[in-house]
Chain A
Amino acid sequence: MTTTTVSSPKEFSKALWKIWTWIKKIPPVYPVFFIIFITLGILNPTKYQSMNGIMTFLRTASPLAVIAIGEMLVLASGGFDLSVGAIVTLVVLVSSKLLANDPANAYPAILTMLGIGSLIGLGNGLVVSYLKVPSFIATLGMMLLVRGGALYYVGGAPQGYLTDNWRAFGRNYIENIPLFGRVPNALIILIVIAVFSYIIFNRTNFGKQILAIGDNVRASQLSGVRVRLVRVITFIICSILAIIGGVMIGGYGGVNVTIGEGLEMQAIAAGVVGGVLLSGGKGSVPNAIFGAFTLQAIVNLLNLLGLPKPYTDAVQGLIIIGAVAYVGLTSQRKK
């Protein structure tokens, strides 16, 4: 008879140590998310302990996750995209006018928005790559441009309502799924995007070049990386994902002038909470997604605890600074 189990205390502690090193490698965002979510479950069991409630949560959190993925790609390339919030505002306001309250216009409207999104990303990419303007400033400028443009186009107030079929992407569920009950469209969209993004980021030459640029631009350039091309495409992807996120947010939230405000910081926060290095060269699609989930969970928790909305903004600012400081300080120690 052969013993397959650990046969001595020495081997036992060796195994434990192996498990411990494996545990240490888990990015902090996952345990943090689960702790917060469990807290939510304790405080409000009907909502957070039921499959229904969890799906509702995921419907709200998915748009931010989609946007966070795009932002993460830009962060990994060493830049920032602060125009994503304004893009969401753009989507909601402009669509309200484009739809002209007619459901038939829904898909053309979405396609138009995707086209505009690509142009915005192109603009960001070109300004950073060819005019050499730091991305922080370039995208802040773009934010002004986009927000002002959106408000100008609708004359300061939404010009109609968002039709049901347009809102379906962000609002509706697919019913009667075994085990899960109802699954939000938003989650499906997130999953599809997540899979695509993971493949592009981890399994293509493009993704590796994003990381190289974020890590050492000069070395990348000299190694033949087409820095400008990669950068422009990255910004375009980010803007397109922001458009998709905007459609999802407009879906469940309806139309509203202040929608999208502060979203760029949330997206960056999601990335940082997920452990993305702000100076570029590191990134992870699942981490960004769970960073977004964590942020949403924190917002929900604060609401549950009765904190008025403006304070949640303040807390977000604290979280961003805290997360960045944490990542910065811990990575310094590693050196």
Chain B
Amino acid sequence: MTAATATENRYRRILHSIHIPPVYFFLILVFFAGGSLDQILADGQIFSNPAIMLNIVVRSVALGIIAVGQSLVIIGASIDLSVAYTISITAVMSSYIMQGDTANVPMAIVSVFAIGAAIGLVNGVTITKFKVNPFIATLGTSLIIKGIINATFSNYTGSVPKSFEFFGYGTIGSLPVSIIILLIIVAAGWFLLARTKFGAHLYGVGGNAEVARLSGVRTDRVLIGAHVICSMTAVLAGLFLVSQMRSGAPWVGPNGVYDLNSIATTVIGGIALSGGKGGVWSTLGGVLIFGVLETVFNQLGVNPYLKTVLQGIIIVLAVASYTIRSKKEAA
């Protein structure tokens, strides 16, 4: 074998191992379809204006960060419906603590991550130790958070110092910081799942908790860990959003429908709700699809209430595109 063909084979092997998740082909499809609609019905900025394209990705950052956390939880055969209100409480609390003063930023960040960790802990414990259905448990938690937020805050609270806005608006070179952070989080999620013991165990817990337990995996701890990580990604997303909005308001989370959207993008990416399989890069593809859709809606000037209607339909269809293939009856 000559040196040339040896390197050829090596490239071939690498190419084979980089397997592109099917969702990206779907993304390209949606992008061109949406862009064409925009071209026909609006001012065609999606194709012509590169800033818009960049915006698609920036728009996707918050959802993308949360979707990584949600992916972990879903791989563990659980689910987290409390992310939306976790974002809200992060936005409000961080803004409140910061009060526009850079000196308070570290304290604010530590506090909200602590809150996030606590929320994840409560979710995880309720599900594992009290054996409550994950839908109910996390929905219950979100109600509790909602109550606490609404009881204490009713409007924009506090403000974010200019220095913190770097997170939301800053750029390194020509690339926005937010996109870099998103990529880091997705990469971190991938690493966690594919290259750590925790990830291997998480797949086990989600695939067949009993088998994992018999193999000595501490299933409760693993799942609680996944929930804590998920809540913390919600916190991170909340910090990102508040740095963009410059002040935190209670409706940030629910308005963006982050709970359902993070689930839908995870499922579109190919991670099964039943757990035990899938990876985060495909989730990113799903997130970008939603980003494109959001931008298209904006370009076309769709009525915000209609947008909600469309969101409901899209989410259901997104999940249906995968579940429809299963042979078992759903519940």
Contact = CB atoms under 8 A, between A and B. Distances in A.
Indicate if A touches B (C-beta under 8 A): yes
A329 B330 contact: no
B150 A149 contact: no
Contacts of B319: 133-134, 137-138, 141
A217 B331 contact: yes
- The interface centre, meaning the residue of A129, A149, A218, A314 with most chain B CB atoms within 10 A of its CB, is A314
Interface residues of B, number: 46
A324 B132 contact: yes
A149 B309 contact: yes
A142 B313 CA distance: 7
B306 interface: yes
B227 to A, nearest CB: 14
B309 A321 contact: no
A135 B330 CA distance: 8
A148 B312 contact: yes
Given A137-B315, A328-B131, A321 B136 contact: yes
A156 interface: yes
Interface string B304-331: 0111111111011001100110101111
A266 to B, nearest CB: 10
Contacts of A135: 330-331
Nearest to B323: A132
Contacts of A314: 143-148, 151
Nearest to B149: A310
Main secondary structure of the interface of B (DSSP, over half): helix
B137 A321 contact: yes
A214 B140 CA distance: 23
Given A132-B326, A217-B331, A310 B148 contact: yes
A216 to B, nearest CB: 11
Contact of B260 (A131, A140, A148, A156): A140
Contacts of A317: 139-144, 146-147
Nearest to A321: B140
A156 B305 contact: yes
B312 A143 contact: yes
A218 B303 CA distance: 44
A267 to B, nearest CB: 13
B215 interface: no
Contacts of A80: 135
Contact of A136 (B135, B149, B303, B305): B135
Given A144-B309, A148-B305, A315-B147, A265 B139 contact: yes
Interface in B252-270: 257, 260, 263
A278 to B, nearest CB: 6
Interface in A34-90: 78-80
18 contacts: A132-B320, A132-B329, A133-B319, A134-B319, A134-B323, A136-B135, A137-B260, A137-B263, A137-B315, A138-B319, A142-B312, A144-B312, A152-B306, A218-B329, A311-B148, A325-B130, A325-B132, A328-B132
Interface of B: 126, 130-133, 135-137, 139-151, 257, 260, 263, 273, 303, 305-313, 315-316, 319-320, 323-324, 326, 328-331
The 5 nearest A-B residue pairs measured at CB: A314-B147, A148-B308, A317-B143, A144-B312, A310-B150
Given A132-B328, A144-B309, A152-B309, 8 more contacts: A132-B329, A134-B330, A142-B312, A149-B309, A265-B143, A314-B146, A317-B143, A328-B133
